[in-house]
Amino acid sequence: MERPTWASADVDLDRPSVARVYDYYLGGSHNFAVDREFAEKVLQAMPNVPRLARENRAFLRRAVRDLCTDGIDQFVDLGSGIPTEGNVHEVAQEINPEARVVYVDWDPVAAAHGQSILAGNDRTAVVRADLREPESVFTDSQLTRLIDPSKPTVVLLIAVLHFVPDDQHPIELIGRIASLLAPGSYLAISHASPEGQPSELGKAAALYTQTASPVTTRSQTEIAALFGGLDIIEPGVVQTPLWRPDFPDEVDPEAQTYPGFAGVARIG
């Protein structure tokens, strides 16, 4: 296929990318035919994936809004994907124009598009890096330009840790990230789980073996364990739409079968 002008030479046009596939689920345009073909196979196995993706974005926005309202003004979005409507900086800077946000992703399209849409916003940055190497991420010059390590920071890990298999020690990874943050910082996690829609999710997850990022689903107990000994704030690790919903009395009954959980924990 012809390479789009926004796709650099190191972008693989022949293999689906989880960031670009997720962009397709959310109705974005920064994806290729190979991503769309793969996404349609996933949608055949699990047709409600776009709704699930939107619920994940809604959790991200609620977590950012609540923590920014509580006074946190530094945010690092690890595995941020391709920027779309309702990004972290849009939510945070609407509450506090001084808020600083750094997006981190290893996908070259995600990084390039992020840099494009953030041009002119000197309180945001994009770092192309692997979240599994947090020591490198948190010493990157683009990040240190904005993020003061002595102040509380919110680190977001939204729908990304299910791409970190057990043999890459995700609990240890979370501990390493937490060790780099000041007391009073927070970690927000959302994660796919077989609880809720086990057969559909199992079929969809199996398809991801065709990508560079296979999926490892985890139970609610296993997702809670990712936080290690950190102090998980209310309402705990719950199905993603049930984490501080904007209108609790209007939550869709399907939230009880949402195949994923989310939580936020405080450091120190």
pLDDT at position 199, please?
75
Average pLDDT over residues 245-261: 90
Average pLDDT over residues 183-205: 88
How many CB atoms neighbour CB 243 within 10 A?
A: 23
Question: Does 111 score more than 70 pLDDT?
Answer: yes
* Tens-digit pLDDT profile for residues 62-91: 999 999 999 999 999 999 988 776 799 999
Q: Are 127 and 97 in contact (CB under 8 A)?
A: no
Q: Could you tell me the pLDDT band of residue 124, with boundaries at 50, 70 and 90?
A: very high
Q: Could you tell me the pLDDT band of residue 182, with boundaries at 50, 70 and 90?
A: very high
Question: Does 38 score more than 60 pLDDT?
Answer: yes
Average pLDDT over residues 189-210: 85
pLDDT at position 201, please?
82
Domain boundaries, the chain: 18-267
Average pLDDT over residues 109-118: 82
Its pTM stands at 0.91
Question: Does 231 score more than 90 pLDDT?
Answer: yes
Question: Does 6 score more than 60 pLDDT?
Answer: no
pLDDT at position 11, please?
65
24 vs 218: CA distance, rounded Å: 24
pLDDT at position 157, please?
98
pLDDT at position 89, please?
95
pLDDT at position 112, please?
81
Which one, of 71, 89, 94, lies nearest residue 186 by Cα? 71
44 vs 243: CA distance, rounded Å: 28
161 vs 19: CA distance, rounded Å: 13
Continuous segment of H or E residues that includes residue 128: strand 124-128
pLDDT at position 9, please?
62
Question: Does 191 score more than 70 pLDDT?
Answer: yes
Amino acid at 139: T
* Of residues 232 and 18, more confidently modeled: 232
Average pLDDT, the chain: 91
% of the chain at pLDDT higher than 70: 94
Question: Does 206 score more than 80 pLDDT?
Answer: yes
Residues ≥6 apart with Cβ < 8 Å to 242: 235, 251, 255, 258
Q: Could you tell me the pLDDT band of residue 213, with boundaries at 50, 70 and 90?
A: confident
Angle at 130 between CA 229 and CA 265, to 5 degrees: 25
199 vs 6: CA distance, rounded Å: 38
CATH code of the region 18-267: 3.40.50.150
